[in-house]
Structure 1
Amino acid sequence: MKVSVVGCGYLGAVHAAALASLGHHVTGLDTDAAKVGRLARAEAPFHEPGLPALLRDGTASGRLAFTTDPARLAGARVHFICVGTPQAKAGNGADLGQLRRAVEALRPHLAPGDLVVGKSTVPVGTAEGVEALLAGTGAVLAWNPEFLRQGTAVADSLMPDRLVYGLPEGDGRRAARELLDAVYAPLLERGTPCVATNFATAELIKVAANAFLALKLSFVNAVGELCEQVGADVVELAGALGHDARIGSRYLQAGVGFGGGCLPKDLRSFRAQAQERGVQSLDELLSLVDGINAAARGRAAEAAAAMCGGEVRGRRITVLGAAFKPHTDDTRDSPALDIALQLAAKGALVTVSDPQAAGHAWLAHPQLSFQADAMDALRGAELTMLLTEWPEFTGLDPVAVAAVVDRAAVLDGRNALDAGAWRAAGWAYRGIGQGSGRPVGAARTAA
């Protein structure tokens, strides 16, 4: 099948390459000529495991091409809209400017019976507006939200947990379903669950899923704050909770909070939608989740100060991590960088290391020093902070690291290190939510 993908950022590039690997002939469109040039040469413009191989295979086979010319999309039966919908500069809602421009660029090249498929994460009601923009083209609209996770996006595309079809009412519903089934035939044949629903439900599924994951993360961080005060261990507590099948262990890792380009902005967009429709309970719940996440970063900075004797000014601190999570070079709303910047603002001499993100993060943050190699970054450190759990960092030898730092003190902001091994190597170790506020067994004040 001939398919087009409009928007070749993180979502679009991965989606285009994945569709080509399923056997379709895919043309990706983007306004950024430099990005299109890199993709056409099978070069991934960002770090994503597995993507370079898909790009090489797709371009070599002739099934995958990229362009800046919308006219080259003519003749495709299915057109996926994969542009960004960032948080608006004024308020928590989504900025749909890129989406509208994408539809306007595509519109002259549509033929009756074509299927336009929205994959971007959008506020409820957006699909109806896009349908109005398509009026007179004879094209049909569907909404097929994406559920990609950075670092595992290729696997998420080729082995998804589920497919969601938001289908139009009336005559176009059957045709849209048949075309989407044809696009995803290899996945459906493997038994991938498929949920077919209306536009509004499909639009809400993605933001509701991300909001729930954010809720789990913020819940365990709030519990971790209590554990700090009473001498409990949030890692052991979360492990016990995870054995309950109703709860599960995923997204129950206490730490310095979540970030990135999706969870925070989707959480706020969902909250804005609740506010607009007067759903006060959801608005208040999501506000609390967002606040807990922001506070986790501040508490980590405070813990760093405590480990430095109450003052970070002039202290040499090494932060391991710049990306918001491992296996990506994305630093958008990164907890690691946020905390590093908080410490630098208080006068700390902060060096940041990251195996993928250091090369471009330094341009935006001149007040921080950057080193790609962790051991170089750790040389002379008075406090080490693990804030992004890259394998390169969690696998460090505490004995070897102790030989290059000035002071063997580590704040494990992801509870990802082997605490016993680091303590045995002579390190002062502190995790998140592991009873640092009061020694285990210390007497409680009588009520």
Structure 2
Amino acid sequence: MAKLGHEVVGIDVDPRKIENLSTSRAPFYEPGLEHLLEEVLQTGRLRFTTDISEAKGNSVHFICVGTPQKKGENAADLTYVDAVATGLLPFLSPGDLVVGKSTVPVGTASRLAHLINLEHPSAHLIWNPEFLREGHAVADTLRPDRFVYGVSDGSEDNPAVAVLDDVYAVPLQAGTPRLVTDHATAELVKAAANSFLATKISFINAMAEVCEASGADVTGLADAIGLDDRIGRKFLNAGIGFGGGCLPKDIRAFMARAGELGADQALTFLREVDAINMRRRSRVVELARNLCDDSLLGQQVTVLGAAFKPESDDVRDSPALSIAAQLQLHGAVVTVTDPKALPNAARRFPELQYEECTRKALEGADMVLLLTEWQEYCDLDPYEIAGLVGAPRMLDGRNVFDPNKWRAAGWTYRGLGRP
């Protein structure tokens, strides 16, 4: 927002996070973010504080807090969203706009709008879901592929629309499409989009299971069906499944909310989407055991990647880290390496071994698993690193390597859904 020319104050309850942000240090790894922070802090248009009273006097208030999965349930925990909405009430002024960015169950926006309007009848709440991709969030913010505005009456004439148009004037003038809907539709857009992407990933992983049983190659299958423009090739890469802080918890929260609305039958397929995804992790462990002559006990195993995706240090529900932990439970001695995520991984699974240097992590390995497709791993030369490992076995959990090249270099290579 500061880059787009606005005067911005960022508010959080975590003093350490505020201190870091105020000195251009991002609290997580995201390409380009620290450079952008440094740039806009120098303009004087951006500052950070823990004092929510600093919201007073501003006309637009974004709610950007997390909605994690409730412990022991599938439903979303709205504690933080509700706390922000309630905390803002004393500091809103007539005509202010509250903008929801958090991913919430359908019905949340209408409830919060009622809460706000009880105290501030002329204030407006608009639900404006975010579609940022971790690893591409800076570009996705400055050059988004779409805007969705959810307003109480679903009308273009709603006064909140003009205010948010002014906030997003730069990307709108650059041609970013904008859709105006009612609150419920805007909330469902994010849930439906994430559910569709999760379904597409689990579909191709289900096909990988069939390919393994039949001797077919899932990469060729994906290329062929992806040429159909009704299907498309994106998100048809078989592998170890999806993770992170969004897709897993969002599809579960969507199922939970549908059940509360009496529409649970409509989303029963998402249970299988979730089940297929979780099954990939145990399948990789099974394949790893097969590669090691049916026993992982005492095997030196190197895992390339801890983050749930490249260009991120996010290990929330990371399939790579989950697989590493399961390998250790089966008796393997596991060393994990990752360019950015090792500190977060060590807090999550302190019992694993971690090594920053890829070459050191590979030394003496009886088996190597590529589980997060960082470019530096994709560029590994099988001939060059063959002398580092104890036994040249590669389990390619992302199907990024050329099997013929690795086998020619003397490696026992195994992909997922590939002969």
Query: TM-score band (shorter)?
Result: over 0.9
Which residue of 2 is the match for residue 136 of structure 1? 119
Three-state SS of the structure 2 residue aligned to 1:352 is strand
* AA partner of residue 27 (structure 1): V
Residue 42 (structure 1) shift: 1.0
Which residue of 2 is the match for residue 51 of structure 1? 33
Alignment partner for residue 166 of structure 1, among 113, 137, 150? 150
1:204 aligns with 2:195: no
1:322 aligns with 2:316: no
Gaps of 5+ in 1: 1-18, 436-447
Alignment partner for residue 84 of structure 2, among 102, 117, 138? 102
1:23 aligns with 2:5: yes
User: Compared with structure 1, are the counterparts of its residues 171 and 109 closer, same or farther at alpha carbon in structure 2 (3 Å cutoff)?
Assistant: farther
Structure 1 CA distance for aligned equivalents of residues 136 and 105 of structure 2 = 25
Q: Note if contact 1:166-1:196 (Cα within 8 Å) is conserved in structure 2.
A: yes
Q: Note if contact 2:154-2:182 (Cα within 8 Å) is conserved in structure 1.
A: no
1:60 aligns with 2:42: yes
Three-state SS of the structure 2 residue aligned to 1:182 is helix
Which residue of 2 is the match for residue 422 of structure 1? 406
Structure 1 CA distance for aligned equivalents of residues 154 and 229 of structure 2 = 40
* AA partner of residue 359 (structure 2): M
Three-state SS of the structure 2 residue aligned to 1:20 is coil
* AA partner of residue 270 (structure 1): F
Which residue of 1 is the match for residue 256 of structure 2? 272
Which residue of 2 is the match for residue 145 of structure 1? 129
Residues 8-62 of structure 1 deviation map (CA, whole Å, 9 limit, x = unaligned): xxxxxxxxxxx11111111000000000011011111110001111101110001
Which residue of 2 is the match for residue 361 of structure 1? 345
Structure 1 CA distance for aligned equivalents of residues 142 and 70 of structure 2 = 31
Which residue of 1 is the match for residue 70 of structure 2? 88
Residues 286-306 of structure 1 deviation map (CA, whole Å, 9 limit, x = unaligned): 000000000011100000000
Structure 2 CA distance for aligned equivalents of residues 70 and 278 of structure 1 = 38
Q: Note if contact 2:314-2:344 (Cα within 8 Å) is conserved in structure 1.
A: no
With the length of structure 2 as denominator, give the TM-score of the two structures. 0.98
Structure 1 CA distance for aligned equivalents of residues 130 and 266 of structure 2 = 23
Q: Note if contact 1:167-1:173 (Cα within 8 Å) is conserved in structure 2.
A: no
Structure 2 CA distance for aligned equivalents of residues 358 and 249 of structure 1 = 31
Structure 1 CA distance for aligned equivalents of residues 416 and 201 of structure 2 = 13
Residue 106 (structure 1) shift: 1.2
Equivalences for residues 21-420 of structure 1 within 5 A: 21-134=3-116, 135-137=118-120, 138-169=122-153, 174-420=158-404
Three-state SS of the structure 2 residue aligned to 1:21 is coil
Identity of aligned residues (%): 53
Gaps of 5+ in 2: none
Q: Note if contact 1:359-1:372 (Cα within 8 Å) is conserved in structure 2.
A: no
Residue 90 (structure 1) shift: 3.0
Residue 396 (structure 1) shift: 1.1
Residues 380-426 of structure 1 deviation map (CA, whole Å, 9 limit, x = unaligned): 10000000000111111111211110000100000011222211211
User: Compared with structure 1, are the counterparts of its residues 390 and 111 closer, same or farther at alpha carbon in structure 2 (3 Å cutoff)?
Assistant: same
Three-state SS of the structure 2 residue aligned to 1:399 is helix
Q: Note if contact 1:319-1:387 (Cα within 8 Å) is conserved in structure 2.
A: yes
* Count of matched residue pairs: 417
Three-state SS of the structure 2 residue aligned to 1:222 is helix
User: Compared with structure 1, are the counterparts of its residues 259 and 304 closer, same or farther at alpha carbon in structure 2 (3 Å cutoff)?
Assistant: same
* AA partner of residue 117 (structure 1): V
Residue 258 (structure 1) shift: 0.3
RMSD in angstroms over aligned alpha carbons?
1.3
Residue 170 (structure 1) shift: 8.8
Structure 1 CA distance for aligned equivalents of residues 155 and 229 of structure 2 = 42
Q: Note if contact 1:261-1:332 (Cα within 8 Å) is conserved in structure 2.
A: yes
Q: Note if contact 2:156-2:180 (Cα within 8 Å) is conserved in structure 1.
A: no
Residue 114 (structure 1) shift: 0.3
* AA partner of residue 61 (structure 1): T
Q: Note if contact 1:272-1:283 (Cα within 8 Å) is conserved in structure 2.
A: no
* AA partner of residue 165 (structure 1): Y
What stretches of structure 1 move > 6 A for 4+ residues in a row? none
Residue 428 (structure 1) shift: 0.8
Residues 184-218 of structure 1 deviation map (CA, whole Å, 9 limit, x = unaligned): 01111111110100000000000100000000000
* AA partner of residue 230 (structure 1): S
Structure 2 CA distance for aligned equivalents of residues 262 and 27 of structure 1 = 26
Structure 1 CA distance for aligned equivalents of residues 407 and 203 of structure 2 = 28
* AA partner of residue 347 (structure 2): L
With the length of structure 1 as denominator, give the TM-score of the two structures. 0.91
> Which sits farther off after the overlay, 42-51 or 132-141?
132-141
Three-state SS of the structure 1 residue aligned to 2:158 is helix
Three-state SS of the structure 2 residue aligned to 1:278 is coil
Residues 265-318 of structure 1 deviation map (CA, whole Å, 9 limit, x = unaligned): 111011112222232443310000000000011100000000000110111110
